[in-house]
Chain A
């Protein structure tokens, strides 16, 4: 308990967990900032990403006869992004745009979508959990001291998230579509009247957020079992991150995700997993008394 190395490991684990929350929460925060909707099926995109990783590995085993985890995992990261992104794009086109301006109804409808996707996964892959074999060199550890041992897996996840974050920043602040997205976030009618195709921005941003959740699913496949309802397990934490971070604010979301990840892992370490989660929830509620709009907020007039 008092060993500083043990604490360092906890903080490190918190960082890697927080970075996964970040990947999940970014998509939620983007679509909330843009369309004022929360997608309750967002967790199922994690599940889609994870099952994509699993399927590709199974395919690699069938094709090469060996568990070629080392290669298939890397291919699965972009594929999971594309598959989950495509699923998000379809759902946005078919369902969510018809519910524009009805945020609470969107919650229920997307929950329905989530149920559907979960049952679909159960039908295709069966109800029991499946497991992805990690690439061999990711199973190593980095021994800094004898007690301070960091798994390469978690370092890899943090690096992956940094990479995605870099991509998002490039997209949002350097590309034309990102500029349009920011314009719609700031003032939808004005952006629309200046010729921004707001419905295309909506679809694209939603697909992007879903794709990021798919990548998060890839990362989670390294850490634990894959099941049809794995998404619901992580999604509530992501919601808390979004609430704490503030309305669709990327910097706020980043900070909130890291804080939640850290607090979760520190509280879990010093008490139990359950008490840790409840404490984090209570802290967030109390924090909102002080700053009701979250850590960062768009300045309104």
Chain B
């Protein structure tokens, strides 16, 4: 239907308007959202925008460099934990955090101590994820592990990190994670004003991340990434070392995901290992695929639409949601591989072969019936 409308107005969405129109419209909508939505929904949208940063970070490496990471929740989680450790210590007011006390620890572990200072915890939000991604990426890309192999290794990473966090109850809070985060820099997390401020801060970071990614993909570095995606060997023969560029963009993407996690933690008041596991990590890919991979703005739109739909549908029909999500995974690659943005740009709507065959047969049946009908009349 959208493409029909567009066909009526040729050139209407072309040029600068089609490039910058959707992001600006989206930004205005998001800025205006608190005026019309309830506080609960604004808080929900704030969480979703933190997810949008995560989706953006995945689109940067999947859409542009061709690396499908099925473990991006790990970096989101690490960023979340880094900031939540600071918040937890703020909530504990100089005493030992509750879960450590329950687990029988007598004093704060050494690696926790520096997290009581914001100047340490906040940089760690980006440093921890990018260090892990840099180390893993260096090892993996250096040995020329690509495609499906990389996807599986990143998925294994999600499993390992999440079970590691679950297993270390005294240091990470185990399955529950870090709970009862009460305030951020002295502002209560339960107050509407703080949550609204966090909402606008998240928008600011989302815009910043979007512009950063846009800058990266339109730079020579970004063009090299696309070249690596399309033919890695040719890039190698041209004298570049793809491993270095891939590691760099993987680490950058992990840092962005970490920022998303750090914005997510205070809006929810809890971080837990479940957000780092296999299941949430692979869901990020479907957000990006639904919005349209390799478009950046598509990742944001996809994250917003899928997550909003999730919270609406799973409130009403929890069982139905899983079927829907399964269908979304299949549909996103089989029926509309270019996503919503591809649909808007009128390049995407591909019928799979069996469907187009079925359509042709239906048309044939239709015209046959029509001629028979005419004959009868």
Contact = CB atoms under 8 A, between A and B. Distances in A.
A119 B139 contact: no
B189 to A, nearest CB: 31
A278 B163 contact: yes
Interface in B322-350: 322-323, 325-330, 332-334, 337
Contact of B278 (A36, A95, A99, A236): A236
Contacts of B337: 105
Q: How large is the interface on A (under 10, 10 to 19, 20 to 34, 35 or more residues)?
A: 35 or more
Given A38-B152, A119-B323, A288-B143, A107 B328 contact: no
Q: How large is the interface on B (under 10, 10 to 19, 20 to 34, 35 or more residues)?
A: 35 or more
Contact of B333 (A109, A242, A286, A292): A109
Interface in A12-58: 32, 36-38
B143 A111 contact: no
B148 A119 contact: no
Contact of B140 (A98, A232, A240, A285): A285
A104 interface: yes
A118 B326 CA distance: 10
Contact of B155 (A106, A116, A239, A242): A239
Contacts of A273: 167
5 contacts: A108-B286, A108-B332, A111-B329, A232-B278, A274-B166
Contacts of B334: 95, 98-99, 109
Interface of B: 62, 66, 68, 70, 136, 139-140, 142-145, 147-149, 151-153, 155-157, 159-160, 163-164, 166-167, 278-279, 282, 285-286, 289, 319, 322-323, 325-330, 332-334, 337, 352-354
A122 interface: yes
B164 A274 contact: yes
Nearest to A112: B329
A278 to B, nearest CB: 5
Given A98-B353, A99-B333, A243-B153, A108 B285 contact: yes
Contacts of A275: 167
Contact of B164 (A112, A114, A240, A278): A278
Contacts of B325: 112, 115
Given A108-B333, A288-B145, A289-B139, A116 B326 contact: yes
Contacts of B167: 272-275
